[in-house]
Amino acid sequence: MITMIKKILTAFLLLPTLLYAQINTERMMTIARNALYFEDYVLSIQYFNQVINAKPYLFEPYFFRGLAKISLDDYQGAEADCSEALTRNPFVVGAYQVRGLARIRQSNFDGAIDDYKTALKYDPENLVLWHNLSLCHIQKKDYASAKEDLSKLLKISPRYMPAYLMFGEVELNQKDTVQALQYFDKAIELEKYDASGWGARAIVRLAQGKYKEAESDLDQAIHLSARNAGYYINRALARFHQNNLRGAMRDYDLALDIDPNNFLGHYNRGLLRAQVGDDNRAIEDFDFVLEMEPDNMMAAFNRGLLRAQTGDYQGAISDYSKVIAEYPNFTTGYYYRAEARRRTGDLKGAEQDEFKLMQMQIDRRNNQGNKAASQGSDKDLADNDGASGDNEENEGKTRKKSDRNIHNYRKIVIADDSEMDQHYTSDYRGRVQNRNVVIKLEPMYALTYYEKVSDVKHTVNYYRYIDELNNTKGFPKPLRITNMEAPLTEEQVRLHFALIDSHTAAIVQDPTNAQKRFMRGLDFYLVQDFDSSIDDFTQSILLDGNFFPAYFMRALVRYKELDYRKAEGAMREGAGQHVAENDAPAVTAMDYEIVKKDLDNVIRLAPDFVYAYYNRGNVLSMLKDYRAALADYDKAIELNPGFAEAYFNRGLTRIFLGNNKDGIADLSKAGELGIVNAYNIIKRFTELPE
């Protein structure tokens, strides 16, 4: 009987929550947008689905669900959701913006242009809309419209640097390099710490044959953006033209470290390795190229030459035969195949190739070979003594990637014009989530079940008491200490909603158990229900004032809630709509003091818990109490000398206080310990070499 009563009681405890979820769509929207802001897209979509099911006439859930879908690269779904939002409210600027981006990703530039033009009627000074509209016109090669858009954009914001880059791009497409250079010069003048201006000007200088100046510009671009493979590829070209083959090969090595599948890097490095006698490694590069492009006959011919030089005559014959089958008038192919066949003892095959060569020479003397070549396609072009001098494509040391003239097999490959322009024209701006790229502190640490995998950092964060909690097997999964929280999958979302129900039943059975309250609070946190999470952590503290994980997690959740509240206004502004009836209350210093108080309690209860000092340092930085923040980061590093994030944040804090030298030293240590972003920040606070 007692068990039955408890089951009924549990059902009544759960029932109001379920009914409330059905009725209170405003709260559900808040949780959903919270999940969206913290990039938990799959979870946010599930919440938006519930709001749509309850109130299908609202535009907001469709709009924000579309935003989540575009973040998951579901462009078709994002377009459909934005269309639904606009059917319900045709004045939502953000919906036009996101639908425009979704259409761009589906190569529907006309549709995107329509969206941006409509949105600009309602928000005529929106820089993102003008930016994307200009790029759409560039993609369509409607340069007159692009110039008109960019002129309007610069009237609104005369110091908007990307507009000058796009203007330069338009001038380059119209073959006006002088005007293009002026625009790129202006872009560099406005933003000398932005690598894109230097990289753009370098491309023009490469085209003009000013290789030394191009290399200098690329030095600056690489100094500011060391992880851009394209800059190394272009600098290798500049160095090649200055006969600095070793320097060019080093650049190709660096480019391929960043982008291992880069075609130009492998092909050109293979050519340079062949030039300096590094035949076996050159073969490896051409192997890679042919794996990417099995029908690349120039790579096949180069590999054949290298195979012959390393004694692999059968492999060489195989490569030569493929090339000859594609280019039957390629005399050089017959010459080398005859030589390789003779080396293998195939005298009959060698004589056949030599006879074919003699026949082609006789035909050429009788003017028949030239006639045949002129009547054939590009792939029938023959390599002969006089042909290369007559063909402009054969002049110089480089060829375009799309060039299929087999005569040019020894030439360094450069990107086609469309590919060289791609780094401008792909820079569409569409996310309406206030994700400005800024210098910011490494994030707070949390206790959670899920952690992102880092390619660079492989640290396992340990604390004895947390390990003891895990050893009790009382938690559904082992607790992890991390500041790289992973968003939930659909399966994990279902799991934690189910765990909330089972923990609720367990709490009814044992209402004084602080740990069970904590576990349910953690589940609420993972499904982004911050209010319920804080309530449970508070109850856990009331039940056991010495259980410091509850203080630690309550501080984290309150901090994230403040972060979201601060960003909410900017998100609404970016979306072009005030989507809430009432603005969220302004965030004050007192709000952060409440967070700090919880961390004070953690440190009182667990004075060696290094992550509490680190988190409190972050809170103090938010309060602009930088000297107190430094003291906390110092303590964190004292407790854990390998604490990369503490070095990173201490470095930034020192820079905020004007101590660049010590700040850069800390950032250098953070980079050494695995935070690669530190290097880019070091460059921004280090003077560029003249």
Q: Which residue has the tokens 């023009």?
A: 204
Please check whether residue 40 is in contact with residue 485, taking contact to mean a CB–CB distance below 8 angstroms: no
Rounded Cα–Cα distance for residues 318 and 307 (Å): 10
Phi/psi of residue 477, each to 5°? -145, 160
Quick one: fold of 295-433? 1.25.40
CA-wise closest residue to 82 among 71, 92, 28: 92
Contacts of 266 (CB under 8 A, 6+ apart): 256, 285, 286, 288, 289, 292
The model's pLDDT over 217-244, given as tens digits with 9 standing for 90+, comes to: 999 999 888 889 999 999 999 999 999 9
pLDDT of res. 572? 52
Tokens of residue 366, six digits: 């009788």
Confidence of residue 689 (pLDDT cuts 50, 70, 90): very low
Confidence of residue 159 (pLDDT cuts 50, 70, 90): very high
Running DSSP on this structure, what letter comes out for residue 408? Answer: G
- pTM value > 0.85: no
Please check whether residue 42 is in contact with residue 73, taking contact to mean a CB–CB distance below 8 angstroms: no
- As its CATH architecture, domain 193-278 has Alpha Horseshoe (1.25)
Confidence of residue 211 (pLDDT cuts 50, 70, 90): very high
Choice between 384 and 666, residue whose per-residue pLDDT is larger:
666
480-482/446-448 β-pairing: antiparallel
Neighbour count for residue 56 (Cβ, 10 Å)? 11
Neighbour count for residue 18 (Cβ, 10 Å)? 11
Running DSSP on this structure, what letter comes out for residue 227? Answer: T
pLDDT of res. 457? 56
Neighbour count for residue 260 (Cβ, 10 Å)? 11
CA angle 174, 175, 177 (to 5 degrees): 120
The model's pLDDT over 267-321, given as tens digits with 9 standing for 90+, comes to: 999 999 999 899 999 999 999 999 999 999 999 999 999 999 999 999 999 999 9
- DSSP bridge partners of 413: 399
Rounded Cα–Cα distance for residues 278 and 286 (Å): 13
Tokens of residue 503, six digits: 């923990």
Counting every residue written for the chain, the total comes to: 690
Please state which of the ranges 4-13, 354-363, 617-626 shows the lowest mean pLDDT.
4-13
Please check whether residue 668 is in contact with residue 646, taking contact to mean a CB–CB distance below 8 angstroms: no
CA-wise closest residue to 128 among 163, 80, 90, 158: 163
Residue 538, CA distances (Å) to 178, 266, 533, 616 in order: 67, 59, 9, 19
Please check whether residue 574 is in contact with residue 432, taking contact to mean a CB–CB distance below 8 angstroms: yes
pLDDT of res. 459? 73
Which CATH code of 1.10.10.10, 1.10.357.10, 1.25.40.10, 1.10.760.10 fits the domain covering 2-169?
Answer: 1.25.40.10
Mean pLDDT of the chain: 85
Question: Would you list the domain boundaries of the chain?
Answer: 2-169, 193-278, 295-433, 450-684
Q: 124-129: long-range contacts (C-beta < 8 A, 24 or more apart)?
A: 125/156, 126/93, 126/97, 126/576, 127/153, 127/156, 127/157, 127/160, 128/97, 128/429, 128/430, 129/93, 129/96, 129/97, 129/100
pLDDT of res. 672? 82
Exposed/middle/buried for 2, CB within 10 Å: 0-12, 13-18, 19+?
Answer: exposed
The model's pLDDT over 180-203, given as tens digits with 9 standing for 90+, comes to: 999 999 999 999 888 999 999 999
The model's pLDDT over 17-65, given as tens digits with 9 standing for 90+, comes to: 333 444 478 888 989 988 888 888 899 999 999 999 999 999 999 999 9
Q: What is the three-class DSSP state of 482?
A: strand
Q: Does 2-169 match 193-278 in CATH topology?
A: yes
Sign of the dihedral defined by the CA atoms of residues 99, 100, 104, 108, in that order: positive
Rounded Cα–Cα distance for residues 527 and 468 (Å): 26
pLDDT of res. 80? 94
Exposed/middle/buried for 59, CB within 10 Å: 0-12, 13-18, 19+?
Answer: buried
pLDDT of res. 396? 73
pLDDT of res. 113? 96
Confidence of residue 349 (pLDDT cuts 50, 70, 90): very high
412-414/398-400 β-pairing: parallel
> What are the E-state strand segments in 455-496?
480-482
Quick one: fold of 450-684? 1.25.40
Please count the helices (runs of H) and the strands (runs of E) in the chain: 36, 4
Rounded Cα–Cα distance for residues 284 and 290 (Å): 10
Q: Say if residue 419's pLDDT is above 80.
A: no
Q: What is the three-class DSSP state of 22?
A: helix
Please state which of the ranges 410-424, 461-475, 624-638 shows the lowest mean pLDDT.
410-424
The model's pLDDT over 442-488, given as tens digits with 9 standing for 90+, comes to: 999 999 999 987 655 557 789 999 999 999 999 999 999 999 999 89
Rounded Cα–Cα distance for residues 603 and 236 (Å): 54
The model's pLDDT over 563-605, given as tens digits with 9 standing for 90+, comes to: 888 877 555 544 444 444 445 667 888 999 999 999 999 999 9
Contacts of 491 (CB under 8 A, 6+ apart): none
Q: 285-288: long-range contacts (C-beta < 8 A, 24 or more apart)?
A: none
Residue 50, CA distances (Å) to 18, 46, 685 in order: 12, 7, 48
Q: What is the three-class DSSP state of 456?
A: coil
Please check whether residue 307 is in contact with residue 317, taking contact to mean a CB–CB distance below 8 angstroms: no
CA-wise closest residue to 102 among 131, 82, 84, 87: 82
Rounded Cα–Cα distance for residues 428 and 575 (Å): 16
Rounded Cα–Cα distance for residues 633 and 336 (Å): 68
Q: What is the mean pLDDT of residues 105-131?
A: 94
